[in-house]
Structure 1
Amino acid sequence: MNYIMEIFIFSFIFIILASSFNLLLGLGGLFSIAHSIFYGLGAYFSALLVAHTEMPVLLAMLLSMILTGMFSLLLAIPTLRVSGDYLAIASLGFSIVLIDMLSNFEFTGGSAGLTGIKKIEIFGWGFTESWMFAVFTGGIAALVLALINWIAKSPFGRLLRGIREDETATMGLGKNVFLIRISVFVMASALAGLAGGLYAHYFRFLSPDGFGLSNTITIICMVVIGGIGTLWGPVIGAFILMGLPELLRFLTLPPNMIGPLQQILFVVIVLLFIYLRPNGIIGVKSKCKESGEQTKLESTEEGVVIR
């Protein structure tokens, strides 16, 4: 039972990660490879704040979100005047440097990892069972989805879509494209930091290896499989990529075969969905409808956030 609950907990954490990355990519049109490192920074910030200040865990998680968002400015400010390949390359280098730093600093536990992290408590009441933490994490994931949906439908969300579709036209309207890009980058990074705090205070062990490039690839695959720019796409992608490979553990296979087979199944799932559903399970297909001199871009699939 605890194992099944852990699958749900991991899935909810990755729903937050994939949805926040979808906010960045699907809504803002920004492709960053540093999303996983902000997940890691949120985890380390929260764990270290509790360890060295003895503040309540929930407060530490909130502060870690703010710190992660502020830290993301180190990457956002010099790179977001342009996007595309430059942002992807810069974010990759940023991730490599920070992983190396986390692996060598003594106060982060170095490459051996950080242990003894405090569990989450609410007014002195802790989660004694895995299902309790699963419910709590699921509730946080639901709040994050509601927030992203609200952002997408707000005037700020419409500005983001305008920049994604036609940056020059948006600038022509007098909008500060650079500031808008920084804002969505900080929001997405802060939400990744929230996911990191949840991870740290449940599993109570952090290692820099868990926040590397492979984790970013997993997040990207979840968004692509579910459907870029949709509300429920990252949710479906997270459950598929977290749940299906774990089914192998219920088969009578030698333990040393399960890990490699899970990786193979992961790759097969991704390739199948890219081939069969290149737009994702809840894909976004657009068509142009002309009326006089105006052309309107509309989404034609249900469940689409970006309209």
Structure 2
Amino acid sequence: MAGNLGDNVRKYRRVVGLSQEEPAHRAGLGLSTVAKLEQGGTVRIETLHMIARALDVETSDLMVSAGREPIVESDFHSLQVMELRKVLTPPKGFSAPVPADDEVPNLAALRHVIVDFERSYFADDYEEISHRLPDLMRDVNTAVRHYESGPERTHALEARITAMRMAGNYLTQTREYDLAYHALSQSIDDAQEISSDLDIASGVMWLCWMMLRQGRLKETLTLAAETADHIEPNKISTASIDHLSVWGWRSPPTRDAHGTQANSWPPPPCRPTTRLHRSPRSAAT
């Protein structure tokens, strides 16, 4: 542990560009204390805490067996992912803090924000997405917390379904698969609360895509087939375009004459259906 402490202290000190003297001075310690620690020596926990504060990190960061890579200001993606992680994986305990809602959520304005956000996503404007996504996630969570029943709650859940689905898509693209799973699972849970089969299936569509990126082909095929069976239209001639779009993507192809599964399935997901704007284009990609 002592060697790890020294390595972690040295690493964090160098990240912020400090000499050994500077954290020692900030912590009110002698230079020999920091030098001894970096060379593999030991210090009391309160001394370690003082050094951690001088380096602007948590004491636990200095104590882990393999210190996590420090996040520097230039690492914008890591900083934004950390904000998303805070939203998607909040602390839970006997009395987990709930953020205060200062204003009544404006659902109409929130819907416009999500539509605008979708344009950025499907234009592959990931820089804009990474800037705005954490705040959007907080806003939809606030709306769901605020409206406990009635049509307003349904609208709030619809907004969160779309926002979480887009977050899951973005996080899959950036290979943050654990967070993508949290977002897509929340989207599916919300869709189940309002009994929206198409929104459930759309969430499953993107979950399958994430699982494929992880190499989980067998599980993906099973989930896709089960979902396609569940949402198969009674009559194709009367089914909506959105229904056909989601069902068609979820349906695995039949095997060829040699019994071989087509290699081209599943295709990259098409634009997900959403209650915020429905048009024939959603089924054309």
Determine if the TM-score, normalized by the shorter chain, exceeds 0.5: no
Which has more helix, going by share of residues? Answer: 1
Tell me the TM-score normalized by structure 1. Answer: 0.20
TM-score scaled by length of structure 2: 0.21
More strand by share: 1
Question: Between Structure 1 and Structure 2, whose CA radius of gyration is higher?
Answer: 2
Kindly indicate whether structure 1 or structure 2 has the higher relative contact order, using CA contacts under 8 Å at least 6 residues apart: 1
